[in-house]
Chain A
Amino acid sequence: MGALLEARSLTKLYGVVIGVNDITLDLEPGVIGLLGPNGAGKSTFIKLITGQLRPSEGQLTVLGERPWANMRLFKRIGLCPEQDSFYDQLSALEFVTSLAKISGLGSGAKERAEQALERVGATEFMHRPIGTYSKGMRQRTKIAQSIVHDPDLLILDEPLTGTDPVCRREIMDLVASLGEEGTSILVASHVLHEVQSMTDEFVLIHGGRILASGKVHEIRSLMNEFPHRITIKCDDTRKLAQALISELPLEGVSIDAEQGEIIVMTRDPGQFYARLPRIALQAGIHVRELTSADDNLEAVFSYLISVH
């Protein structure tokens, strides 16, 4: 297999606003994290890769093809987009089957859709309309439609946003097993920790430029300089906050009772994510949603830019 992606002076302008700026990048097949704060140009870069946008300048090839309106390439890539949007009246099975047919799977589409939905753990609810789903179920459905046609390159845009701990774990395991099967995966995220748990290959993007690419340990120590902020949505904020403070070394905890949220600052997100489920279970608290803010990443990027 040749190169996964080759960009040469790739630039995308929106009028006078720069989306991505002069990106030159070579990626080999594998699992790669695309990391950058919101507004860094991740989405623009992904839209260029998936042929939704045309480069203003420079060249881009993905799996040896120019992406713009390229039906050959579209058969080989799968995209799990960032937006949480569906045809809400359809069930997950109908939704994924329809998209599988459009991907050219023909009469085998329904069977393949069932397999993909089973793989993301959606079998139980796949006959209900998507409009009735929780965030986690929607996320699983969105991933199922991106893998149903067995793409050579899978692009996951913020796949862990708003998912509960169990769903996070399962999505991470899915990425790992797909990677082992030989699917190349590009995981875009604004949270280093999320990407880190899936791959150690990364591309750092900021201000429409590639700041760095390589192995994640190279910036790991840098990350620890800046505390990581995590928002937890749960039913008893006060009780969970107490339990967290007594069990974990935290930089700070604040409670937003109105929103039912706890905001935690930690220098060791790995330990936090590993221990949170047990702590919550022992305290008898139901954790609904975990969100990582990107401000620590923003801080790292500011630092990287200043040393560049």
Chain B
Amino acid sequence: MFEIYRMQLGQILGSRMKWLVIIILSLPVLLTLAVATGGALEELERELGREEFSKSVAAGVIPKTARRVTWEGEDILFMGGRLGLTREGLRYRGRSMSQDEVRVVNDGYLIFLDGQLWIDDTKKPQSENYRIRSHDRVSPDTPNGSGVTLTVNTASALYLFLLYPQALCLLISLFYGTSVLGHELTGKTLTYLFTRPLPRWKFILGKYLGIITALLIPTSLSLLTSWLILGALGGFSVFLALLAATVGALMAYNAIFILFGFLIPRRAMIVALLYGVVFEMVLSFVPALVNQFTITYYLRSFVVKTLDLQIPHEAIRVIGGASPLAALIAVSVVSVGGLAISSLLAANREFEIHDQA
């Protein structure tokens, strides 16, 4: 099995093919460079944190009748990581309230988003408390007076997630994973392997690990470069979380695409492309249970939860609200399941290579 692993590594990183990998992986770096120099992410961050994000992602949550309230730091009450807000305090003057008062008085419709407070007098409250992340830096003299600045640049972290685990890992896995079998069949080289004492599950596992290793090296370098271009945002833990999501994406996607290759050898790539676009790109953002059947939802959840990104409560269902444990289970089930079914299919299938010479 190790020999198959080694051969697969060589196939991807050896000779001509490595240039393809290098080109593919330098594109996102260029994109990040363009985005960073153009200031697009700061813009996005501003939009995300304030108006655009609230309107688009949390549409319907912040009603049209809502108005933004300018705030003076001490009027917000932090208790056990939660923001409590009273109508009295908001309207009139800053004073600390007891926990009981907060619970009773809060009858407005309130949203706390990126240090800004929205209130809708016409609505009843859906929730008494709005959560502030425990490691958010709280300061009374922030420019907007909200008393809250974010330690993690949410927009940039999400941008890197979309670029690497969600898009790039999907695409390169699609290219290599679906062709594990096809490459050996069209190259007519499978005969050399399948007439040797090599159980087929070892062939699959060797190829799988070979692809992941070969793709992980340049992908993580590319991710590291992009992260550095964005000013090493949020510290090394942000890079590590994104790297973990990248590994998870490569594991799960390659297992799925290898399975596609065995299920439908001739059409694997096109079906995989459809799956990728429809499920992992589009449906993963549809907050109606369906996105919980996509891999990227769990990986996104993992990044959001481990980095404690500032996502409005209402948008969590779109972005991803699963626990890191659920993400781990999802990736494991998909990877092991995909490989196991592929192995079963391979063990019982005749692979015939015709010589058309």
Contacts and interface: CB of A to CB of B under 8 A. Distances in A.
Q: Do A and B come from one complex?
A: yes
Interface string A72-93: 1011010101111111011000
B187 A103 contact: no
Interface in A220-239: none
B186 to A, nearest CB: 9
B352 interface: yes
A86 B192 CA distance: 9
A129 to B, nearest CB: 8
A213 interface: no
B3 A81 contact: no
A145 B196 CA distance: 11
Interface string B177-218: 000000000011101111111111000000000000000000
Nearest to B349: A54
A98 B7 contact: yes
Interface string A50-66: 11111000000000000
Interface string A10-45: 000000000000000000000000000000000100
Interface in B1-38: 2-4, 6-7, 10-11, 14-17
Nearest to B192: A99
A52 B195 contact: yes
B353 interface: yes
Nearest to B2: A101
Size range of the chain A interface in the assembly: 20 to 34
A202 to B, nearest CB: 22
B93 to A, nearest CB: 76
A43 B189 CA distance: 16
A153 B351 CA distance: 22
Contacts of A54: 350
Contact of B195 (A74, A83, A84, A89): A74
Contacts of B187: 85, 87
Interface of chain A, helix or strand or loop or mixed?
Answer: loop
Given A85-B189, A98-B6, A101-B3, A79 B16 contact: no
B100 interface: no
Given A52-B352, A54-B350, A84-B357, A102 B189 contact: no
Contacts of A77: 195
Contact of A98 (B3, B16, B200): B3
A148 to B, nearest CB: 11
Contacts of B10: 89-90
A85 B357 CA distance: 11
A53 B355 CA distance: 15
A83 B191 contact: yes
Nearest to A87: B189
A98 B193 CA distance: 10
Contacts of A72: 197
A295 to B, nearest CB: 17
B347 interface: yes
- Most chain A CB neighbours (cut-off 10 Å) among B3, B4, B199: B3
B350 A102 contact: no
A287 B7 CA distance: 36
B191 A81 contact: yes
B355 A83 contact: yes
A61 B96 CA distance: 89
Given A53-B350, A83-B188, A102 B196 contact: yes
B197 A75 contact: yes
Interface of chain B, helix or strand or loop or mixed?
Answer: loop
Contacts of A99: 192-193, 196
A43 B191 CA distance: 12
Contacts of B188: 81, 83, 85
- Most chain B CB neighbours (cut-off 10 Å) among A85, A98, A99, A101: A85
A161 B355 CA distance: 13
A18 to B, nearest CB: 15
Contact of A52 (B4, B15, B17, B194): B194
A104 interface: yes
Given A71-B197, A75-B197, A99-B192, A53 B7 contact: no
Contacts of A83: 188, 191, 353, 355, 357
A47 interface: yes
A145 B191 CA distance: 12
Given A52-B352, A54-B350, A89 B14 contact: yes
A69 interface: yes
A238 B352 CA distance: 42
B196 A74 contact: yes
B194 A103 contact: no
A143 to B, nearest CB: 13
Nearest to A72: B197
A90 B357 CA distance: 22
A75 B199 CA distance: 12
B156 to A, nearest CB: 39
A82 B354 CA distance: 9
B347 A51 contact: no
Contacts of B199: 71
A88 B2 CA distance: 20
A102 to B, nearest CB: 5
Given A52-B195, A102-B3, A102-B193, 6 more contacts: A74-B196, A83-B357, A86-B189, A87-B189, A89-B17, A99-B196
29 contacts: A43-B355, A51-B195, A52-B350, A52-B351, A53-B350, A53-B352, A71-B197, A71-B198, A72-B197, A77-B195, A79-B191, A81-B188, A81-B191, A83-B191, A83-B353, A83-B357, A84-B357, A85-B188, A87-B11, A89-B14, A89-B15, A89-B16, A89-B17, A98-B6, A101-B2, A102-B3, A102-B193, A129-B15, A145-B192
